[in-house]
């Protein structure tokens, strides 16, 4: 386990710390920086099992986000889940979106919903369906149409910016770029900022992944959606 000033090595045997009962270990672990949790879970099988248990994540949730226990369940298509997922959602809201109000947890859950469908699924649903689900969720929570559209756009941008740079992401972004436009009423219409970011990442971070045909197909879509387009996007 490593903190900001010292380095302590835990031996899985012949160490009184390793013989502590589970409830005391949980009280210690939830006070350790999150960045060290993976290392801790590798020390001992007992500890690894603890990090899979609901009571550790519930303790961590209440320690890091004391008001979480008083939050009401919300309606809508995106579920809240157990303590580990709630902790992850609140951590994302605080560290990616810098939110610290009644909106924070649902925004984190929406981010997880979108990222999982885009990253894990071998055949992700069309962007319009995912976007519509996000909009429905925010509306179900009582947000205004303008706030709903703004938060949905922020969620898409955050997910796109945090996708790993690999072949799967390139294929995903290419699919998003080539999807045809469907007219939908506000706030279900997709943000121009989000569509721009998809093309921007393709033509900058993934430029070397294109073959000749794919490049000109995506470029034609970009020219159809945006005028003018940056000169840096031109040239295969």
Res. 220: pLDDT tops 60: yes
Res. 9: pLDDT tops 90: no
**Residue percentage of the chain with pLDDT more than 70:** 90
Q: pLDDT tier at 69 (50, 70, 90 boundaries)? A: confident
Nearest to 174 by CA among 129, 132, 205: 205
DSSP state of 31: T
Rounded distance, CA 56 to CA 59, Å? Answer: 5
- Cβ burial, residue 160 (10 Å; 0-12/13-18/19+): buried
* pLDDT score at 72: 83
* pLDDT score at 235: 84
Whole-number CA gyration radius for the chain: 22
Token match 């979108």: residue? 114
Q: What is the pLDDT of residues 89-148, one digit of tens each?
A: 999 999 999 886 656 899 999 999 999 999 887 778 899 999 999 999 999 999 999 999
Q: What is the pLDDT of residues 174-205, one digit of tens each?
A: 999 999 777 889 999 989 999 999 999 999 99
Both tokens assigned to 83:
């303590």
- The answer to whether the bond into 180 is cis (omega within 30° of 0) is no
Helix and strand counts by DSSP (H, E) for the chain? 11, 0
Q: Domain extents for the chain?
A: 53-233
Q: Is 97 helix (H, G, I), strand (E, B) or coil?
A: coil
Q: Is 142 helix (H, G, I), strand (E, B) or coil?
A: coil
Rounded distance, CA 16 to CA 134, Å? Answer: 49
**What angle is formed at CA 211 by the lines to CA 208 and CA 214, rounded to 5 degrees?**
110
Beta bridge partners of residue 2, listed in sequence order: 7
- Cβ burial, residue 234 (10 Å; 0-12/13-18/19+): exposed
* pLDDT score at 116: 94
Q: What is the pLDDT of residues 13-36, one digit of tens each?
A: 556 766 788 999 999 999 999 889
DSSP state of 163: S
Go through 186-220 and write b for each residue having 16 or more CB atoms within 10 A of its CB, e for each that does not.
ebbebbeebbbbbbbbbbeebeebbeeebbeebbe
* pLDDT score at 15: 65
- Cβ burial, residue 157 (10 Å; 0-12/13-18/19+): middle
Q: What is the pLDDT of residues 27-65, one digit of tens each?
A: 999 999 988 999 999 988 999 999 999 999 999 999 999
Rounded distance, CA 176 to CA 221, Å? Answer: 11
Token match 């924070």: residue? 104
* pLDDT score at 232: 94
Q: What is the mean pLDDT of residues 73-79?
A: 92
Q: pLDDT tier at 3 (50, 70, 90 boundaries)? A: very low
**What angle is formed at CA 234 by the lines to CA 230 and CA 236, rounded to 5 degrees?**
155
Q: What is the mean pLDDT of residues 155-174?
A: 95
Res. 222: pLDDT tops 70: yes
* pLDDT score at 104: 80
């Amino acid at each position: 386990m490593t903190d900001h000033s010292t380095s302590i090595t835990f031996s899985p045997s012949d160490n009184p710390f390793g013989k502590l009962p589970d409830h005391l270990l949980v009280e210690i672990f939830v006070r350790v920086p999150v960045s060290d949790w993976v290392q801790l879970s590798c020390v001992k099988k007992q500890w690894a099992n603890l990090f899979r248990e609901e009571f550790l994540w519930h303790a961590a949730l209440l320690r890091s986000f004391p008001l979480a226990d008083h939050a009401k369940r919300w309606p809508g298509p995106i579920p809240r889940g157990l303590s580990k997922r709630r902790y992850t959602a609140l951590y994302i809201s605080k560290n990616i979106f810098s939110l610290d109000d009644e909106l924070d947890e649902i925004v984190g859950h929406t981010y997880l919903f979108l990222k999982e469908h885009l990253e894990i699924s071998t055949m992700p649903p069309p962007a319009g369906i995912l976007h519509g689900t996000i909009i429905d969720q925010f509306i179900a929570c009582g947000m205004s149409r303008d706030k709903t559209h703004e938060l949905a756009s922020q969620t898409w941008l955050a997910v796109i910016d945090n996708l790993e740079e690999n072949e799967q992401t390139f294929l995903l972004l290419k699919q998003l770029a080539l999807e045809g436009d469907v007219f939908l009423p506000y706030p279900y219409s997709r943000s121009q900022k989000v569509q721009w970011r998809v093309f921007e990442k393709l033509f900058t971070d993934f430029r070397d992944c294109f073959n000749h045909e794919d490049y000109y197909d995506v470029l034609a879509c970009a020219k159809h959606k945006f005028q003018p387009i940056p000169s840096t996007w031109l040239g295969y």
